[in-house]
Amino acid sequence: MIGDLYQSPLRYGGTYEESSVDGITPRPHWAGLMESLQSMGPAELAFRWTQAEQRIRENGITYNMYGDPLGVHRPWKIDLVPLLIPDAEWRFIEAGIIQRAELLNLVLEDVYHSQSLLKEGLLPAALIYPNPAFLRPLVGVKVSRASYLHMLAIDLARSPDGKWWVLANRTQAPSGSGYALENRLIVSELLPELFRTSNVQRLAPFFRAQRDALAQLSERNNPRIVLLTPGPHNETYFEHSYLAKYLGFTLVEGADLIVRDRCVFIKTVSGLEQVDVILRRVDDDFCDPLELRGDSLLGVSGLVQAVVAGNVKVANALGSGVVESAAIMPFLPGLARHLLDDELKLPSVATWWCGQGSALNWVVDNLQSVVVKPAFSSLGMEPVFGSELAAAERERLIERLRCSPHEYVAQEQVQLSTAPVWENEALQSRSLVLRTYVVNTGDGWLAFPGGLVRVAEASGSVVSMQRGGHSKDAWVLSDGPVDTFSMLPPRNELVPLRRASLVVPSSVADNIFWLGRYVERAENQARILRSIIPRVHLADDAELGSLICLASCLGTRSARLADGNRGRPSFNALRRELLALLTDQNRTDSLGATLAEVSRIGDSVRERLSGDMMLLLSQLSSSVQAQKGTFLTSYTAMLTKCLELLSAFSGMERENINRGSGWLFLSLGRRLERAIYLTHELRHVTKPLAVENWAYLERLLEVADSTVTYRTRYYTHLQPLAVLDILMADEHNPRSLDFQLDHLAELYAKLPRNLSADLRAIQDAVSSLRNIDLQAITQRINTPGSYPVEGYVEVDQFLARLQNLLPSWSNNLSSHYFSHARTLPITMGID
Amino acid sequence: MLYNVSHRTTYLYSYPVSVGEHVACLKPRSFSRNKLVQNKLTIDPQPSNLTERIDYFGNILSFFTVEEPHKVLIVEAKSQVEINSQANSATSLSLPWEESARSLAQDRSDVGLAAYQFQFASPRVRLNQEFASYALKSFTPGRPMRDALMELTARIYADFRFDSKATTVRTPPEEVFRKRQGVCQDFAHVEIACLRSINVAARYVSGYLRTYPPPGKPRMVGADASHAWISAYSRDEGWLDMDPTNNVAPTDGHVTLAWGRDYGDVSPLRGLILGGGGNALHVEVDIEPLDV
């Protein structure tokens, strides 16, 4: 028996329990899973569960909850135990959801063309005309292959008698299939033996069909397909980047696209590239601020024009949200008979559209047993549970219903079925909703075998990921062997060789450039801090000056280091300042703030980085957050760890990233940032430096990781000129200024639409640098112990000039390659 | 009556606009008593492309993109329109208003459906009980449609004060209703809200109004303005135009440009610009009757 895995019998209330009839004996198709869970035992399950959580963290699978303190980066919650669906039952569900997909697609075609359903009275006009999702500019516009719904999601629930019912149809930009795929990858890895032996239907054919279907929407041979996301703040942004990566589409935001002459283009660093198909995750009316919602910042101005002209295909078609309304449900059986000559196979949960007089009266009389919802989602009303209303609220609601009845629907409150969930080291019973998916292949429809199972947070409560629920994998158990296709093409299929990779949208190049700059900045900050910290405790007053000098390279102003009473620099002030520079997130010049930026930017270009790189970035930001306290020395280990991770990242950057435009901008960012730090650091050497502060030179060598080089050349004899030679002029030292400038020139030469003026300026800087004769300066300065400034005038002037030039080069890169991706249009004329 | 209409919009920006994408609804639509003879749209700077599309309501939209940096945008529409007088039948002859409104929901003919969609709330016109009770004072049981409509129009004219400073293009009808002041667009929205709140289909009409110079003075060119009024649907008489700003049923002094559910569907010029900073808007309208 498997009872010992449960804290209490699984069944509660009168609901249907998926795994068992009586709460003890498993249903036949659950027997294998239950047996295997039991044989693993709670300890092993707990162990595997921690593995899963680790995978989720490592893969950065997140779901953003609006108004949640964890904000973005809330880890996705997934359950270890899959929902099992036997073959025969799945075939029934599959036929039902495919029929529904076909039906809704036909309804859309009718609504946007002949409107014969309205004329024949099969669909009330009051359900379409006032619906803001009915997009008038799209009426009469031809849709490629009549594929209004490229993909749709249908939410299912099982009632106590074991029947499946449709709760909702998601027809504009359904989410979750990417999470379902990620769930599958994790759960199949956690229960590998079981997965192998259970004949679980695979998911890859669905995604292949989706990719092919999108490509076929365009008449072009090798169409460019982009995935349009509302951006990193969207609740399912992780999924957008994940699917873009998995399907091989370019991930774009509205600002990356532009319409010219009724064609859509993507703004890339090398210019405009035409887009053929847009898979959108932006809601209907937000897609075009020019013709749909003027206040939308997520869309593409002029998109409707391009769609009308047939120059771009959008999936799902703009306007498909009009059949998402629950109000359509009571009419589906009639529509099925009329359009498909068939009975509706999968019933909808009982729904009353108040626009019908009899339904309104019924709802008013039976308010306590229904949930009232807006018929048009844009009305922004939360569902109201009739049973929870006080008398006065009831009256107000009834008045609203009577005032504009067509704006409301009422639905029966559904008793959801339950399934076992592994929680608190035991199996618990939780209500669930199964979100299924159907894709339009052009020749027919293909169902996603299984779906995304969403589980209530606590037993019996509402199922909603937005309210903190879990998710589950769903296994459709095949009676026979399954198609084990993966997204990889078969070995015998010839693939045309391609060298060019995905285009790099300007906004992505912008982010990558700043990723390069911030990663390098973090390294410089960490190196400087690590060099100062151990000495703060040991140093005598004499050394304070050199440490302050170094701290100033972090951007610290001397005023910060002044002690309150005496107004002079003190160790205590320096200690406080260093602590702030380490962790104070409110200071933009702190290491903590830099790493937070690294993590934010890394997150927004995650589809461009390998899993290993993302893993490093997430470890980086947690490494500094984890360290607390005011004991300065304890931070040394953290800094070393941080530097290790940064080195690993730069190693991957050098060895693992394809040298395309993306890498180019990453390297540009890195070289510019390093040159900026070096110039700042070296300028201290060209200014009067008291002899007792010559220790600064030693610190500088340490920061630039050039101590060993120096010792092999000069032993322990510290000389400003020798330091300058190694850190400024030595073209073989990867941490010298010469090396940075030389590489910048090389990178600039490779830029598309190159910035020739800046390239020349960089080349000039390289030759000026090489014209500085340090040896001659040595000869001018005869007394080695003194520090005559005059000798360094030439060097200082050069560095000063460079200090101005470097930021200007960075700004020019921005305005030349990225700026147009950042400007947001302003709406005019409507207010 | 033949009119020459010129409608010139000037946008002055504080900073150059690098790209401007615009939709203009400035070409008068043609129908039975409102015939477009000719129209010319002049845009400065020269747009990189200009396309025309008929919208869902049958209005003519012009889409254009200005891609050269500019600090001034001038859009000028010059049209010639021929207006035939609207028949003004005796008010008492129309059907009781309830018959017109109630049966519209059951009328699934093309004409019926086309009218029915104007019976609902729209983005800028939300409905409520206050609008309904205001309307019902005129729409008393059994009263002929045209009679009730004229009285409602007259009451709005009497109860609301014309004040071009009191409202903006964004002011919701509820606020206009509370303040009892506004401009032609506001009065049109209020009357539409009143009518729809009692299930009478009503649409927003944008256009121009012929103005008369003071006796003995010459007509002042460019002193006119674009105008807005409403049209309500009656099953036996069709669409009935009413101008609450002037308390008239338009005859041959109103030139129709376009109609829609509310101002948002027919705003004369809207768009998205990159850059620009602040902007100043200047509109000059001139209506010149040709055959007096």
pLDDT digits (tens, 9 = 90+) for B69-116: 899 999 999 999 999 886 666 666 678 898 877 778 888 899 999 999
Q: How confident is the model at residue A566 (pLDDT cuts 50, 70, 90)?
A: low
pLDDT in tens, B194-205: 999 999 999 999
pLDDT in tens, A677-711: 999 999 888 876 666 677 888 889 999 999 888 98
Structure tokens at A113: 């063309």
Q: How far is A601 from chain B (nearest CA, A)?
A: 25
Average pLDDT over residues B208-217: 83
Task: Give the integer Cα–Cα distance in Å for B228 and B243.
Answer: 8
Phi, psi for B71 (deg, rounded to 5): -105, -10
pLDDT in tens, A652-664: 888 888 788 888 9
3-class secondary-structure state, position B206: strand
Average pLDDT over residues A784-800: 73
Q: How far is CA A466 from the centre of its chain?
A: 17
The answer to whether the Cβ–Cβ distance between B272 and A120 falls below 8 Å is no
String of b and e for A164-191 (b: at least 16 CB within 10 Å)?
bbbbbbbbbbbbbbbbbbbbbebbbebb
Answer for the pair A304, A318: CB distance below 8 angstroms, yes or no: yes
Task: Give the integer Cα–Cα distance in Å for B67 and A65.
Answer: 40
pLDDT in tens, A65-98: 554 444 456 677 888 899 999 999 999 999 999 9
Size of interface A-B (CB pairs under 8 A): 96
User: Which residues, including other chains, have CB under 8 Å from residue A115's CB and lie 6 or more apart?
Assistant: A128, B113
Answer for the pair A504, A662: CB distance below 8 angstroms, yes or no: yes
The answer to whether the Cβ–Cβ distance between A828 and B11 falls below 8 Å is yes
Task: Give the integer Cα–Cα distance in Å for B287 and B290.
Answer: 9
Of A125, A137, A302, the CB nearest to B21: A302
| % of residues, chain B, pLDDT over 90 | 65
Q: Which residues of A touch B (CB under 8 A)?
A: 115, 118-121, 125-126, 129-130, 132, 136-137, 139, 259-262, 289-291, 294, 301-302, 305, 308, 403-404, 406-407, 823, 825-831
Half-sphere exposure of B257 (CA within 13 A, CB side): 31
Q: How far is A307 from chain B (nearest CA, A)?
A: 13
Within 8 A of B128 by CB-CB distance, chain A residues are 403
pLDDT at res. A503: 78
Structure tokens at B287: 């209506």
Q: How far is A405 from chain B (nearest CA, A)?
A: 11
Return the minimum-mean-pLDDT range out of A35-39, A252-256, A305-309, A777-781. Answer: A777-781
Q: Is A70 exposed, middle or buried (0-12, 13-18, 19+ CB in 10 A)?
A: exposed
Q: Which DSSP state fits A814?
A: I
Structure tokens at A449: 């075998």
| Residues in chain B, overall count | 292
CA-atom Rg of chain A in angstroms: 32
Q: Quick one: closest CA in A to B52, which residue?
A: A305
The answer to whether the Cβ–Cβ distance between A828 and B271 falls below 8 Å is yes
Of B57, B117, B270, the CB nearest to A829: B270
Higher-confidence residue of B102 and A733: namely: A733
Q: Which DSSP state fits B125?
A: B
The answer to whether the Cβ–Cβ distance between A828 and B270 falls below 8 Å is yes
Please, what is the end-to-end C-alpha distance for chain B in angstroms?
8
Task: Give the integer Cα–Cα distance in Å for A89 and A18.
Answer: 12
**Beta bridge mates, A373:** A409
CA nearest to B285, candidates B270, B273, B271, B268: B268
Q: Quick one: closest CA in B to A402, which residue?
A: B129
The answer to whether the Cβ–Cβ distance between A118 and B108 falls below 8 Å is yes
Of A121, A407, A831, the CB nearest to B168: A831
3-class secondary-structure state, position A374: strand
pLDDT at res. A7: 45
Within 8 A of B269 by CB-CB distance, chain A residues are 829
Within 8 A of A115 by CB-CB distance, chain B residues are 113
pLDDT at res. A298: 82
Look up tokens 């606590």; give the residue. Answer: A458
3-class secondary-structure state, position A804: helix
Q: What number is the ipTM of this complex?
A: 0.93
Of A262, A290, A404, the CB nearest to B51: A262
Instruction: Tell me the pLDDT of chain A averaged across its residues.
Output: 85
pLDDT in tens, A26-49: 999 999 999 999 898 888 988 888
Task: Give the integer Cα–Cα distance in Å for B102 and B169.
Answer: 32
Of A118, A137, A829, the CB nearest to B271: A829
The answer to whether the Cβ–Cβ distance between B51 and A823 falls below 8 Å is no
Structure tokens at A523: 């390294």
Q: Which element (helix H / strand E) includes A714?
A: helix A707-714
The answer to whether the Cβ–Cβ distance between B264 and A830 falls below 8 Å is yes
Q: How confident is the model at residue A453 (pLDDT cuts 50, 70, 90)?
A: very high
Q: How far is A137 from chain B (nearest CA, A)?
A: 6
Which residue in A119, A129, A303 has the most chain B C-beta atoms within 10 A of its own C-beta, making it the best mutation to test that interface? A129
pTM beyond 0.90, yes or no: no
Q: Quick one: closest CA in A to B268, which residue?
A: A829
Within 8 A of B125 by CB-CB distance, chain A residues are none
The answer to whether the Cβ–Cβ distance between A301 and B63 falls below 8 Å is no
Phi, psi for A193 (deg, rounded to 5): -65, -45
Task: Give the integer Cα–Cα distance in Å for A701 and A213.
Answer: 59
State the sign of the Cα–Cα–Cα–Cα dihedral A103, A106, A112, A114: negative
pLDDT at res. A12: 47
